[in-house]
Amino acid sequence: MTDISTLSLEEQCNMIWAATTAREEAEARSRLEPPKVRVWSGDWNLAGVLNTEYTAEFTWLDNDAGTGLTEIPLWDPLAKWIWQVKARVDGGERRNVFITVDKDGARWSGVLFDQTVEKREDGTRVLVVRWMHDFFFLSHYLVWCNPFLPDFVQFPRTFFLAGPSIWTLKTALFLNVMREQASLWELPDDPMNQGGSAPGMGNWSVVVKPTEFLDDMNAGTLWSVPNSRFKYWTEMSKDILLDAELSVICRRFLADDDDQPIAGQTLRNGCLVVDIVDKSGYYSDTSNGGDPFLGLKRTVAKFTDDFIDDFQDAIVDPTVPASYGVPGQKLTDKTCPYVVYMEGEETGIESSKFTYTPSTAIQIVTGGHSMPFVNELISAGIQTAGDLIAMIIGIPPVGGATDAVLQPFYWDTIAAWNHAKSQARANHSGWARLYEYIASSGDRAYTLEALLSIRKGLHDTRSWFSHEVMIRDGAPWYIGDNGKGHFFIGDRIGAQVLGDFAAQFGFGDYTIYVDQVRELTLAWDRDSFAEWKCVIGEKEKNKDRGARALSLISDLYSTVRTLGVTGK
């Protein structure tokens, strides 16, 4: 290796330029490499490598099951193998068919959803296969009230856990995966502690990558209380994942390509490894906006003292991740998003859409039923008073009869309604403003459930800014996973709103908005190379993080009511 310190400045510059050019050419070549597409049997034995497809398209969705599509000529032996289900089953190769697609460090894996044989106008015969991403498997796990007991005896009435969201969701999924994959065994105090007391998972088809309670606590993950009475795990976890801005990662383990993902376990080829990661950092330390001149603003989301509004607290003198100083390394850190797309004719933004909707009501009303025990206390007081009076005057007890007569007059009249006013919204709205909104989801006033209802009402009427941006791969940032790209699904990246384009119409807006990558699609056909298509943000970004964060406490009340502890 040449010691550049012995070279002249011109020679050093030439070497640096040559190395930079060589790396750029290598990256360009790697982007043109076709995806590696493999088809697997139901037992995850390799059926063949697919390389004759007319067209293909595979989509990653954040916390949802994306779809895949392949069009294969029917003369291909793989197409015949996929289509001939009976012959495949009779040959011991099972009914299910799986696919893996590897490109730029990312892996899309899924199961055959349906297949169609088409004879087209030009005479070609094509097998069209639709695939479902492996997240689809998670939508087929119910969270039982008690995963350790048979369905005949399910006590207690409701399954619930309280703790950091990654740990609670992983534990809930792990316990119910265990129902399918293993017999009963004695759990350690923390089921996510995969130490010596962990079960052998060498033959499991689905495993959950462990995250221990204390590790999740130290990471500052938002707390939650997932609860279920035979809900699907995906249904139970949906709002929690959205609120804490967590991403579920489903990746098939391929023994020839990957290292063992769980220490102390030797997984079988084709095992689905499920992980939940915080790629956002919204509630710890990240950027939620800025501009090209002063840079991105580092903020951390917090709640106000009344737990009704939330705000973003600026971080002074933030630390830039040391990983950004490593030459040639591709990544984006959640604490300081690296990728920002600027608006203009020569940038990677192909199309963009930004929408602003102003807030409406400044006051939220909720309720309808008295807070717990108010009606019961009044009823008990009337009955006691009636019985005492009857005892004093020497007649039979009349407290019950008196209460029955008076109940229509007092029931749900005391402490049955409450309201909350957003003073910040009132100040910002001006002198003339829309006043009230009733939150229909509220039921019982002055409870945690009512507080959640008020939060939801504020969310339904709040201002929100949504953006949907289509960007192009390699202009200048690369899309990829595991160090092969600057960002991937779930990562936070920034995009400028209109910018110089807006200035042509008499105003300039250089604001940068930061959001998660919500959708990625890898598509190619015989006439074009594989290309990434990316969408950041959503068409409707009105998700109330605070409302769902309150499930930590409001769901406790809901869970207790489900358990039958409270009365009516």
What is the DSSP secondary-structure string of 86-101?
HHHHHTT--S--EEEE
Amino acid at residue number 364:
I
**How far is residue 12's CA from residue 526's CA, in Å, rounded to a whole number?**
43
pTM strictly above 0.85: no
CA distances from 304 to 199, 309, 542 (A): 44, 6, 19
Start-to-end CA span in the chain (Å): 80
Nearest-CA neighbor of 226 among 549, 568, 566, 561?
A: 549
Nearest-CA neighbor of 231 among 166, 167, 173, 149?
A: 173
List, in order, residues 6 or more apart from 332 with CB less than 8 Å away.
338, 339, 486, 487, 491, 492, 493
In angstroms, what is the C-alpha Rg of the chain? Answer: 29
Helices (H), 154-232: 165-181, 213-218
Nearest-CA neighbor of 137 among 57, 232, 44?
A: 232
List, in order, residues 6 or more apart from 547 with CB less than 8 Å away.
243, 452, 455, 456, 459
**How far is residue 46's CA from residue 425's CA, in Å, rounded to a whole number?**
60
- The pLDDT assigned to 340 comes to 79
Check if the beta carbon of residue 168 is closer than 8 Å to that of residue 233.
no
- Domains located in the chain, CATH noted: 1-32 (no CATH), 36-133 (2.40.30), 142-277 (no CATH), 299-333+336-358+463-537 (no CATH), 363-453 (no CATH)
User: Which region, left, alpha or beta, applies to residue 237 given φ > 0 means left and ψ of -120 to 50 means alpha?
Assistant: alpha
What is residue 137's DSSP assignment? H
**How far is residue 439's CA from residue 453's CA, in Å, rounded to a whole number?**
6
As beta bridge partners, residue 57 has 69, 523
Nearest-CA neighbor of 82 among 41, 123, 125, 137?
A: 41
Asked if residue 210 has a cis previous peptide bond (ω within 30° of 0), the answer is: no
Check if the beta carbon of residue 526 is closer than 8 Å to that of residue 54.
yes
Report the b/e string of 30-52 with b at 16+ CB within 10 A.
Answer: ebeeebebbbbbbebeebeebee
Check if the beta carbon of residue 288 is closer than 8 Å to that of residue 541.
no
Torsion sign over Cα 257, 489, 112, 79: negative
Q: Strand, helix or coil at 532?
A: strand
- The pLDDT assigned to 195 comes to 62
- The pLDDT assigned to 268 comes to 93
Token pair for residue 392? 């004093």
Which residue spans within 473-552 are E strands per DSSP? 492-496, 512-525, 528-536
Token pair for residue 151? 């369905």
Nearest-CA neighbor of 155 among 144, 165, 166?
A: 144
Question: Per-residue pLDDT for the chain (568 aa), expressed as one digit of tens each?
Answer: 567 777 888 888 888 888 888 887 877 777 778 899 999 999 999 999 999 999 999 999 999 999 999 999 999 999 999 998 888 888 888 889 999 999 988 999 999 998 988 888 888 889 999 999 999 999 999 998 888 888 777 777 788 888 888 999 999 999 999 988 875 555 566 677 766 555 678 889 999 999 998 888 888 788 888 888 888 999 999 888 887 889 999 999 999 999 999 988 899 999 999 999 988 765 555 544 444 444 444 444 444 444 445 545 444 445 667 776 677 677 777 667 777 777 666 667 777 766 666 778 888 888 888 888 888 899 999 989 888 988 888 888 888 888 888 888 888 888 888 888 888 777 777 666 777 888 765 567 877 667 777 877 877 777 766 666 777 777 778 888 887 888 888 888 877 765 444 445 445 556 677 777 888 888 888 888 888 877 776 655 544 444 444 444 444 445 555 544 444 4
Q: Strand, helix or coil at 449?
A: helix
**In what helix (H) or strand (E) does residue 11 lie, and over which residues does it extend?**
helix 9-32
